[in-house]
């Protein structure tokens, strides 16, 4: 087993989930992609390596990875979901709706919002799930008219 699989296995165990070969394979596909993938894209890419894998298994494995914190679900236009591999630390995402690239941003960007909510509303934020959708720097450069 390679190091990425070992790390994924450890994280599944820590989350109280069973480690199966399929779950590790799905986790590896996501981690190697570095971008968001729909369940069908994960299935398509995995089927080339593991022809026997079932579509339902891939879908269930993705949900397990989300539950265990190894992946996050991002909503695309038209209520389609995409999945992205996630680091253990708490963080948020910048998801490019044009090229599909997903960057992770630190909690520090969101902390001021939580602090302000506590100050203004008396609400203590324990957990925040906040992702940002838009266009990445590369896509914006390509879009802007040459002047
Ligand atoms: Zn992430
Ligand atoms: Zn982009």
Query: Which pLDDT tens digit goes with each residue over 53-89?
Result: 999 999 999 999 999 999 999 887 777 889 999 887 7
Q: Which of 72, 88, 104 is the last residue of a domain?
A: 88
- Among the listed residues 17, 12, 25, 85, the one whose alpha carbon sits nearest the alpha carbon of residue 53: 25
Ligand 2 is a single-atom ion; what residues have CB below 5 A from it? 96, 98-99, 136, 139
**Does 16 share its domain with 60?**
yes
Cβ atoms of 71 and 84 closer than 8 Å: yes
4 with 26, same domain: the answer is: yes
Residues 1 and 69 in one domain: yes
Q: What does each of the 147 residues of the chain score in pLDDT, given as a tens digit? A: 567 677 899 999 999 999 999 999 999 999 998 789 999 999 999 999 999 999 999 999 999 999 999 999 988 777 788 999 988 776 889 999 899 898 889 889 999 999 999 999 999 998 888 889 999 999 999 887 655
The model carries a pTM of 0.77
| 57 CA to centre of ligand 2 in angstroms | 30
Three-state DSSP state, 26? helix
* Contact by Cβ (8 Å): 30, 42: yes
Do 70 and 11 have their domain in common? yes
For residue 13, give the 3-state DSSP assignment.
Answer: helix
**Are residues 14 and 82 both part of a single domain?**
yes
CATH number for 81: 1.10.10.10
Domain range for 120 is 89-147
Residues 28 and 45 in one domain: yes
Last residue of a domain, one of 88, 107, 125: 88
Compute, in angstroms, the gap from residue 86 CA to the centroid of ligand 1.
4
* Tally of structural domains, the chain: 2
Structural tokens at position 55 = 């579509």
Report CA(21)–ligand 1 centroid distance (Å). Answer: 22
Calculate how far, in angstroms, residue 69's C-alpha sits from the geometric centre of ligand 1.
9
Q: Which residues pair with 84 in a beta bridge?
A: 72
């Amino acid at each position: 087993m390679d190091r990425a699989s070992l790390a994924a296995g450890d994280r599944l165990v820590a989350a109280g989930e069973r480690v199966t070969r399929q779950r590790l394979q799905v986790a590896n596909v996501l981690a190697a992609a570095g971008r968001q993938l729909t369940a069908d894209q994960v299935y398509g890419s995995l089927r080339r390596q593991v022809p026997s894998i079932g579509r339902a298994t891939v879908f269930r494995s993705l949900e397990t990875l989300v539950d265990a914190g190894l992946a996050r679900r991002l909503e695309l236009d038209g209520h389609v979901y995409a999945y992205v591999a996630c680091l253990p630390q708490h963080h948020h995402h910048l998801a490019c709706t044009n090229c599909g690239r997903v960057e992770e941003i630190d909690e520090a960007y969101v902390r001021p919002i939580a602090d302000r909510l506590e100050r203004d509303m008396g609400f203590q934020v324990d957990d925040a799930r906040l992702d940002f959708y838009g266009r990445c720097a590369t896509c914006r450069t390509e879009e802007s008219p040459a002047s």
